[in-house]
Amino acid sequence: MRGRLPRNTRGYAVIPPPKNSKEKALLDAMLRVDHAGEYGANRIYAGQMAVLGRSQSGPLIQHMWDQEKEHLKKFNEILAENRVRPTALLPFWNIAGFMLGASTALLGKAGAMACTVAVEESISEHYNSQIRALMELDPERYRELLQIIKQFRDEEMEHHDTGLDQEAESLPGYQILKTAIQVGCKAAIYVSERI
């Protein structure tokens, strides 16, 4: 019996083994980009905290960052369990995320919140597309992964709504900044799925 699982124990925690190479490639890309997104979000909040951590906005930013830390922790676990390599671009996302967070925070609370709205809206839309893909693939088979993605999507939307409540739209040039950040997010999603 050594090395064997008891009969009533499954051999995975969240994601069952893929049925074929196409499904493996899809799941690997999905997990890789989700991990990269949560990593980038952590770095953005780190940059915001470096600038605004001691301001009145600090506790709110810290709360959102704490949730992002939990998201990243979960995707670290899922990547390891499924032997999926993270994106090779993590060193770049490390610097780019921090710089985006810090530079928008230098514009003040409204700048940090505008960044939060843009990024979290992009991430939520991306999570929604993954939910649709998994529902089409096999919702029962991927029930646990769907639950995780839905929970994280809901928390990202909470951050988005918090940013709006904190007057992100009052920033002069809000729409231009939001659009630029979202173009960057879409590019980051595209390359992180592949590299």
Contact call for residues 112 and 105 (beta carbons, < 8 A): yes
Query: Annotated binding residue at 71?
Result: yes
Q: Is 160 annotated as a binding residue?
A: no
Q: Confirm or deny that 35 is annotated as ligand binding.
A: no
Backbone φ, ψ for residue 98 (5° rounding)? -60, -45
Question: What secondary structure does DSSP assign to 97-133, as a single string?
Answer: HHHHHHHHHTT-HHHHHHHHHHHHHHHHHHHHHHHHH
**156: annotated binding-site residue?**
yes
Q: Was 63 annotated as part of a binding site?
A: no
Q: How far apart are CA 140 and CA 10, in angstroms?
A: 15
Is residue 172 classed as helix, strand or coil in its secondary structure? coil
Count of Cβ atoms closer than 10 Å to residue 48 Cβ: 31
Other beta carbons less than 10 A from residue 79's beta carbon: 17
Q: Is 121 annotated as a binding residue?
A: no
Q: Which ranges of the chain does DSSP label H, i.e. alpha helix? A: 21-52, 58-81, 90-105, 109-137, 143-165, 174-194
Write the CA distances from 52 to 30, 43, 46, 74, 143, integer angstroms: 32, 14, 10, 27, 39
- Known binding-site residue numbers for Fe cation: 38, 68, 71, 120, 156, 159
Q: Which residues carry a binding-site annotation?
A: 38, 68, 71, 120, 156, 159
